[in-house]
Amino acid sequence: MSLKQWGAALLGGATLLLTACTVVDLDENGKPIMPADPNAKASFDNMTPQQIAQQTWQERVVDAANKHALDATALSAQLKTPGDKPQSVFVRLTSKVERVDVSNEREQKLVMTFNGQPLAVNTGPVVRGNTIRDATGFKFEDFTNQVQFAQLSRAYNREAVKHLPKIDESWTGKQATALMAVTLNGGKIDDAVALELKQEAQ
């Protein structure tokens, strides 16, 4: 083989080798950014509870609530056949607002009527409890960092308040629709947290 032929063969081999390589983007530290495995389980290991809440809010809360929310009839039926442990679900109710409870400025409530009884819906600015997190279906074992799971409730509660309109006494007597997460316990509603609130046209 002549030198010219040898050079051509070598060049051809190098070209073949280069075309077989996949170009990988680098991050700001010069490290390769590997594409995510579409079959891999979502990992929250390096995320704060606030980041998890923000990134999953639309899909795990808003979209799921709009798709699976119980109406008044379905909620009544579920309360008549209580399970043996508390259960959190999404609910959508339209009702007259009986009053707005601002006796505790930090934990205000909009009081609606359900089955002829008052239903206090938490509107913040401070919301407590695990109702939203548990309604999403997240389980303890979904997290390797259990602190994240414990603190996700607070992060979701803060996220919910950010999306709510300002509630004041002017809502009293108006028809309103509430999309919310509620905890059912022993045939009663233990807790209700607003996700979306809007006044209906009179």
Contact call for residues 180 and 121 (beta carbons, < 8 A):
yes
Report which DSSP code applies to 162.
Answer: H
26: left (phi over 0), alpha (psi -120 to 50) or beta: beta
pLDDT, position 33:
57
pLDDT, position 113:
93
Q: How far is CA 81 from each of CA 75, 77, 91, 98, 180, rounded to the nearest angstrom?
A: 10, 7, 17, 27, 21
pLDDT, position 201:
79
Contact call for residues 152 and 54 (beta carbons, < 8 A):
no
Query: What is the pLDDT tens value at each position of the chain, 202 positions in all?
Result: 555 555 455 445 544 444 444 555 665 666 665 454 444 345 677 889 999 999 999 999 999 999 999 999 999 999 998 788 999 999 999 999 999 998 898 999 999 999 999 999 999 999 999 999 999 999 888 887 888 888 999 999 999 999 999 999 999 999 999 999 999 999 999 999 999 999 987 6
Report which DSSP code applies to 166.
Answer: P
Domains of the chain: 48-199 (2.40.50)
